[in-house]
């Protein structure tokens, strides 16, 4: 296998001028993709905000109206704070006559001992809510206002409403004027993620009187300079519609000049310049924003790059089908299911039949996949929260090697405006409202893909169709359910799930087989849509990975149609690997985890030197009889699991019921024999005490070896994000996971004492 991977490296170095091929002179037929770095044409001071007004609570509370069951002043060193306690909402109104045009940001300084939702309102047109996690240090909440407000209208007051949680302390409220340039990433700091509508791009801010400059080396005829630009809502002003970008390529008499008006509608616009006149030269490029009058205006300038279409630029595509059970592939023959596209993929590569996820929840699983790091160490265990910028991602590894990176996710909480997995992606799309179905997601994906004809691309496509509620499009609706049967017929016997745990939306369903049939229909639908992707000429010589974030319980231990609990049904996932140097027609029994996907793809793409955790899946296949212990960590950190050959065990870290008929107590330990009981319906720890003792000891030791740092940022979570999660049926709680132990190995409770 080492010789195979070496061959993959050689092929890529010859095939493309990006990444590791930077020192290889490309031939005219080769592809090219190269980002262009931009900097201000002269040094400038970083834009700094100005505090227009600062309101500090003082004894007597002059100018303040406070509604709280308990209110008192406390001292922190030299600072004084207003402490509010109570079980009801606490409301604060601060008098202010500042004109609205004088500020564009509100900052709240406070110390929060528990989670709160904090709403700010200044007039009927502006109201914003953030959810704040508890922390030992003071926090600053920031609320940005758009520039389209009526500038001369004075404030009637600043209203703050604090909902939930325990006591908190309020230090100050500030009205701040921030320069429009600071609303967008500074070129000096490098591109940052800028969302406009449902598309985010890595961009820098362009403002009047501060041109951005760079240079490009033009090697061959046919090369183009392309870029995207847009006006985010927070920088929109009436003058933006009369502004334009002026681009100059080269210098002197033979320079090329063009002017591009800023879009009169929200959204990203694309532009392209033929560089053929400059072949064999290195020439400067200059972007200027020209705006009428003195009204503030700024635009985002993104994806500035030199490209040349090649004969076969390499591509790597990761497809994650949310909530897709490992056994729901037609090629396996385990259920009646028509998935010809996925079956063909499996026949063209390696189908790993014993692949497991690390957790049973969407965002933490995808973070693990995209960082190669277990949730135990990322410490991201819920769909809320944000990935820290310091976290290394697979997209960043490909981007550092000169690959373009694109992503399309079908739910908001996976994107840049959610948990933060836009990190490392040049271009990324996510829905503003309802989740996309596969057709919508594929439309966006193929649009972004075909924008990048010129060079190597790493791409991620996330599909949400197999997630409940199972509601396939009309052409697939009930295609696996008897046509003469009514699943809502009141004369049918009770379905049985009323004795267990089931999703609320199934209350009216009388036939327990109906949801499973619809689940199959959803998978058949997404398989049909994938035909457009798999057959795209741009990807014919590329690498594909198809997998899932977690599985789904259909009927296990009295739990129906959910993935709230952690058992093999929710941990086993499909995993297919296809592409150059990958064996074909192989069904591998190797014990693998999806955290190894990233390492495998980097190796195959000739980037074996890139730092990234994990082991190569193909090496695991070559030694599939080697034993391997796998660990899991449930959503919210409620349960840790271990799989060792035929044995599967759960250690409850926090008491929970988790959609199961019986609540599990803290530190309860259950052992199951997968050979005799694959559904884990009957625990056997009493019959196998030595096995139980050994596996419990291993999982405790594994928890103790966790990294203390983690990848989680502690930024506030917006109300929009929480509402989007609630609409999908996810709890909106945000587990507070810092550097603390996952459990005390010396716990004296009866459950722990039993196994010592």
Given 604, 623, 642, which residue is the final one in a domain?
Answer: 623
Judgement on whether residues 267 and 166 belong to the same structural domain of the protein: no
Give the model's pLDDT for residue 578: 98
Give the model's pLDDT for residue 735: 53
Residue 699 is assigned to a structural domain of this protein: no
Q: Are 533 and 539 in contact (CB under 8 A)?
A: yes
Given 144, 178, 212, which residue is the final one in a domain?
Answer: 178
pLDDT tens, residue by residue, 52-97: 999 999 999 999 999 999 999 998 888 889 999 998 999 999 999 8
Judgement on whether residues 481 and 586 belong to the same structural domain of the protein: yes
Residue 756 is assigned to a structural domain of this protein: no
Judgement on whether residues 366 and 296 belong to the same structural domain of the protein: no
628 to 622, 625, 632, 673: CA distances (angstroms): 14, 9, 13, 16
Residue 130, CA atoms < 13 Å, CB-side half-sphere? 20
DSSP conformation class of 27: P
Residue 422 is assigned to a structural domain of this protein: yes
CATH code, domain carrying 226: 2.60.120.260
Helix, strand counts (H, E) of the chain: 13, 41
Question: Where is 578: in which H helix or E strand?
Answer: strand 575-578
Residue 748 is assigned to a structural domain of this protein: no
Residue 629 is assigned to a structural domain of this protein: no
Judgement on whether residues 263 and 136 belong to the same structural domain of the protein: no
Q: Tell me the sheet residues that pair with 429.
A: 199, 408
Q: Are 71 and 65 in contact (CB under 8 A)?
A: no
Judgement on whether residues 469 and 579 belong to the same structural domain of the protein: yes
Residue 291 is assigned to a structural domain of this protein: yes
CA distance 406 to 714: 26
CATH code, domain carrying 531: 3.40.720.10
79's tokens: 């600072």
372's tokens: 């190669």
Greatest Cα-to-Cα distance within the chain, rounded to the nearest angstrom: 88
Judgement on whether residues 124 and 245 belong to the same structural domain of the protein: no
Residue 57 is assigned to a structural domain of this protein: yes
Residue 436 is assigned to a structural domain of this protein: yes
Judgement on whether residues 263 and 350 belong to the same structural domain of the protein: no
At 644 the three-state DSSP class reads strand
Q: Are 101 and 149 in contact (CB under 8 A)?
A: yes
Instruction: Report the number of distinct structural domains present in the chain.
Output: 3
Judgement on whether residues 281 and 345 belong to the same structural domain of the protein: no
Sign for the CA dihedral angle at 682, 687, 691, 697 comes to positive
CA distance 697 to 16: 50
Judgement on whether residues 128 and 239 belong to the same structural domain of the protein: no
Full domain range(s) for residue 435: 315-486+513-623
CA distance 649 to 647: 7
CA distance 342 to 359: 24
Question: Where is 405: in which H helix or E strand?
Answer: strand 404-408
Give the model's pLDDT for residue 332: 96
Q: Please, what's the b/e burial string for 2-21 (b: 16 or more CB within 10 A of its CB; e: otherwise)?
A: eeebeebbebbbebbbbbbb
Residues of the chain short of pLDDT 70, as ranges, are 1-29, 146-151, 234-241, 264-265, 294-296, 311, 498-500, 557, 714-739
Q: Are 680 and 660 in contact (CB under 8 A)?
A: no
Judgement on whether residues 252 and 270 belong to the same structural domain of the protein: yes
Backbone angles phi, psi at 118, to 5 degrees: -120, 115
Given 308, 342, 369, which residue is the final one in a domain?
Answer: 308
CA distance 513 to 518: 9
pTM: 0.86
Q: How far is CA 535 from the centre of its chain?
A: 27
Q: Is 454 exposed, middle or buried (0-12, 13-18, 19+ CB in 10 A)?
A: buried
127 to 88, 131, 163, 183, 724: CA distances (angstroms): 20, 14, 15, 19, 18
Q: Is 540 exposed, middle or buried (0-12, 13-18, 19+ CB in 10 A)?
A: exposed
The packing angle between helices 514-534 and 340-348, to 10°, is 60
Judgement on whether residues 385 and 333 belong to the same structural domain of the protein: yes
Judgement on whether residues 476 and 574 belong to the same structural domain of the protein: yes
């Amino acid at each position: 296998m080492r010789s195979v991977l070496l061959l993959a490296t050689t092929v890529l170095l010859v095939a493309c001028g990006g990444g590791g091929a930077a020192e290889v002179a490309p031939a005219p037929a080769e592809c090219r993709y190269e980002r262009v770095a931009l900097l201000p044409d002269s040094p400038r001071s970083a834009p700094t905000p100005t505090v227009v007004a600062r309101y500090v609570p003082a004894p007597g509370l002059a100018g303040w109206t406070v509604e709280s069951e308990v209110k008192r002043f406390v001292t922190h060193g030299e600072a004084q704070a207003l402490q509010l306690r109570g079980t009801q909402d606490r409301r604060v109104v601060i008098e202010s006559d500042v004109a609205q045009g004088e500020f564009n940001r509100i900052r709240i300084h406070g110390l929060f001992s528990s989670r709160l939702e904090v709403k700010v309102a200044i007039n009927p047109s502006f109201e914003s809510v953030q959810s704040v996690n508890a922390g030992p240090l003071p926090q600053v909440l920031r609320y940005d206002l758009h520039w389209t407000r009526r500038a001369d209208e004075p404030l009637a007051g600043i209203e703050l409403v604090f909902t939930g949680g325990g006591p908190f302390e309020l230090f100050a409220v500030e009205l701040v004027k921030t320069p429009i340039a600071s609303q967008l990433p500074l070129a000096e700091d490098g591109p940052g993620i800028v969302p406009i509508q449902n598309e985010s791009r890595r961009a820098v801010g362009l403002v009047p009187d501060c041109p951005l400059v760079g240079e490009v080396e033009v090697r061959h005829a046919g090369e183009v300079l392309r870029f995207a630009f847009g006006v985010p809502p927070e920088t929109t002003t009436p003058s933006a519609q009369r502004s334009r970008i002026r681009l100059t390529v080269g210098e002197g008499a033979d320079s090329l000049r063009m002017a591009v008006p800023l879009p009169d509608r929200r959204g990203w616009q694309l532009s392209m310049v033929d560089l053929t006149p400059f072949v064999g030269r290195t020439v400067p490029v200059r972007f200027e924003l020209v705006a009428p009058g003195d009204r503030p205006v700024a635009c985002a300038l993104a994806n500035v790059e030199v490209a040349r279409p090649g004969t076969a630029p390499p591509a790597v595509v990761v497809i994650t089908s949310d909530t897709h059970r490992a056994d729901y592939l037609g090629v396996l023959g385990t259920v009646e299911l028509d998935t010809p596209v996925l079956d063909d993929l499996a026949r063209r590569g390696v189908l790993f039949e014993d692949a497991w996820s690390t957790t049973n929840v969407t965002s933490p699983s995808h973070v693990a996949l995209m960082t190669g790091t277990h949730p135990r160490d990322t410490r991201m265990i819920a769909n809320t929260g944000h990935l820290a910028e310091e976290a290394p991602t697979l997209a960043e590894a490909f981007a550092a090697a000169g690959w373009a990176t694109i992503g399309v996710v079908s739910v908001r909480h996976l994107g840049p405006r959610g948990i933060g997995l836009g990190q490392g992606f040049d271009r990324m799309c996510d829905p503003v409202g309802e989740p996309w179905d596969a057709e919508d997601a594929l439309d966006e994906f193929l649009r972004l893909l075909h924008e990048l004809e010129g060079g190597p691309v790493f791409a991620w496509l996330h599909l949400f169709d197999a997630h409940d509620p199972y509601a396939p499009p009309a052409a697939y609706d009930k295609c696996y359910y008897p046509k003469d049967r009514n699943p809502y017929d009141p004369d049918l016997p009770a379905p049985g799930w009323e004795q267990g745990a089931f999703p609320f939306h199934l209350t009216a369903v009388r036939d327990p087989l109906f949801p499973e049939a619809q689940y199959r229909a959803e998978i058949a639908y997404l398989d049909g849509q994938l035909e457009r992707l798999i057959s795209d000429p741009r990807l014919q010589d590329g690498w594909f990975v198809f997998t899932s974030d977690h599985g789904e319980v259909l009927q296990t231990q009295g739990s129906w149609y959910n993935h709230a609990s952690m058992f093999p049904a929710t941990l086993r996932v499909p995993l297919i690997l296809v592409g150059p140097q990958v064996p074909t027609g192989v069904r591998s029994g190797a014990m693998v985890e999806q955290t190894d996907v990233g390492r495998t793809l980097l190796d195959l793409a000739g980037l074996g030197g890139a730092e990234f955790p994990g082991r190569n899946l193909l090496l695991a296949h070559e030694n599939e009889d080697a034993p391997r212990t796998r660990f899991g960590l449930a959503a919210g950190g409620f349960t840790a699991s271990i799989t060792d050959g035929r044995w599967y065990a759960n250690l409850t870290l926090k008491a929970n019921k988790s959609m199961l008929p019986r609540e599990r107590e803290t530190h309860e330990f259950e052992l199951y024999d997968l050979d005799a009981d694959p559904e884990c319906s009957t625990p056997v720890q009493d019959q196998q005490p030595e096995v139980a003792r050994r596996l419990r000891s291993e999982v405790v030791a594994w928890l103790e070896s966790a990294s203390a740092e983690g990848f989680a940022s502690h930024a506030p979570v917006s109300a929009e994000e929480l509402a989007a999660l609630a609409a999908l049926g996810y709890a909106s709680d945000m587990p507070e996971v810092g550097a603390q132990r996952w459990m005390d190995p010396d716990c004296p409770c009866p459950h722990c004492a039993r196994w010592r």
